Amino acid sequence: MNFPDRVVICEVGPRDGLQNEKVVLTVPQKVELIERSVEAGAKVIEIGSFVHPKAVPQMADTDEVARLMKRADGVEYRALVMNLRGLERAEAAGIRKAKFTVSASLSHSLSNHNKTPEQAVRDFADCAEYAAGHGIELSGAVSTAFGCPFEGRVPLDQVMNVIARFREIGVRELSLSDTTGMANPAQVFEYTVKVRKEFPDMTWVLHFHNTRGMGLANVVAGMAAGIDRYDACFAGLGGCPFAPGATGNIATEDLTHMCHEMGIRTGYDLDAVIAVGRTVQQFVGHDTVSFILKAGKCTDIIAANK
Ligand code: ZN
């Protein structure tokens, strides 16, 4: 199999991970996790979301986090927004990259946003225009891109349709998200090969949850299809709204470890990533599903047995 020599691992823990936690971290704790993730090698980090504080109380202080965190050169600090109001807040907090999400599944989109996926993308046109006029980069995310809790497998045509709508409003970077952990490696390979062929000018990111243990296998399938950008979350936080108690995102330390074992560069210092993961577990006050935090690295056991 052919794999990329190097992949970009985008740290989504401060947003996708922490928004699912019962405990709301303090601003200094969030700032520490962001700064230490960047020191560990993160070149792209999702620092939070600018949504209504009542909708996601865990993210209510993203403005303050963005203002207080030290910023390193060459690092993309992105945030999730839902509408123009959120985009303006992000801009005011000095964020230059915003991401917005649309569900590929009709039932999921209707139940969450009360609109069709096509309408949801069209409603972001004002954001896209605002972003273009203010030098803010935009990224789109297609959620439930592989499987939907209401509809089951989401047909590729449906996903392609949402991608085409995103293209129409000027978005050139898209992440395909397996929000519910229903994607499998064969499907990931098929979908990513086809979307890359159909939309060759797009930058692709894959976002997997390990809900059913297929997360890292899906990354390998994506890499075999030539995708070199992956979201991951420190300590593997981040549940699934449709499966309470379910495993979260693939863990940054697990993905980094796997890549390094495969000879694929990530730019991360694995020991520093592991240290961040341990701090995350302390902050949230519970164990998380991270294989490396439990078992240690392959090289640890070799050293221990010498
Ligand atoms: Zn997610």
240 is catalytic: yes
30 membership: H or E segment, kind and range? helix 27-39
**Spacing, Cα 208 to ligand 1 middle (Å):** 7
**Spacing, Cα 305 to ligand 1 middle (Å):** 38
pLDDT of residue 185: 98
pLDDT of residue 222: 98
**Spacing, Cα 81 to ligand 1 middle (Å):** 14
Average pLDDT of 291-295?
95
Judge whether residue 271 has pLDDT over 90: yes
Neighbouring residues of the ion ligand 1, judged by CB less than 5 Å: 16
- pLDDT tens per residue, range 132-157: 999 999 999 999 999 998 889 999 99
Are 298 and 261 in contact by the 8 Å Cβ rule? The answer is yes
Are 96 and 136 in contact by the 8 Å Cβ rule? The answer is yes
Average pLDDT of 126-135?
95
Of 233, 240, 259, 298, which is the active-site residue?
Answer: 240
Comparing C-alpha atoms, which of 135, 122, 134 is closest to residue 83?
122
As a whole number of angstroms, the distance between CA 294 and CA 296 comes to 6
Average pLDDT of 110-130?
91
pLDDT band at residue 181 using 50, 70 and 90 as cut-offs: very high
What single-letter DSSP state applies at residue 135?
Answer: T
| Radius of gyration of the chain measured on its C-alpha atoms | 18
pLDDT of residue 242: 64
pLDDT of residue 113: 83
As a whole number of angstroms, the distance between CA 138 and CA 136 comes to 6
pLDDT of residue 262: 97
**Spacing, Cα 12 to ligand 1 middle (Å):** 8
- pLDDT tens per residue, range 26-55: 999 999 999 999 999 999 999 999 999 898
**Spacing, Cα 210 to ligand 1 middle (Å):** 10
pTM over 0.75: yes
SS3 34: helix
pLDDT of residue 47: 98
Structure tokens given for 129? 């225009």
Average pLDDT of 228-244?
87
Residue 50 forms beta bridges with which residues? 81
**Spacing, Cα 231 to ligand 1 middle (Å):** 8
Q: At residue 49, what are phi and psi to the nearest 5 degrees?
A: -135, 150
- Better-predicted residue by pLDDT, 299 or 306: 299
Judge whether residue 263 has pLDDT over 70: yes
| Percent of the chain at pLDDT exceeding 90 | 86
Structure tokens given for 224? 């075999």
Judge whether residue 241 has pLDDT over 70: no
pLDDT of residue 277: 98
As a whole number of angstroms, the distance between CA 76 and CA 15 comes to 14
pLDDT band at residue 304 using 50, 70 and 90 as cut-offs: confident
User: How far, rounded to the nearest angstrom, does the alpha carbon of residue 199 sit from its chain's CA centroid?
Assistant: 21
Question: Which residue ranges form the domains of the chain, and what is each CATH number?
Answer: 8-304 (3.20.20.70)
pLDDT of residue 183: 97
CA dihedral 87, 93, 97, 98 (to 10 degrees): -30
Are 222 and 193 in contact by the 8 Å Cβ rule? The answer is no
| Percent of the chain at pLDDT exceeding 70 | 98
**Spacing, Cα 218 to ligand 1 middle (Å):** 14
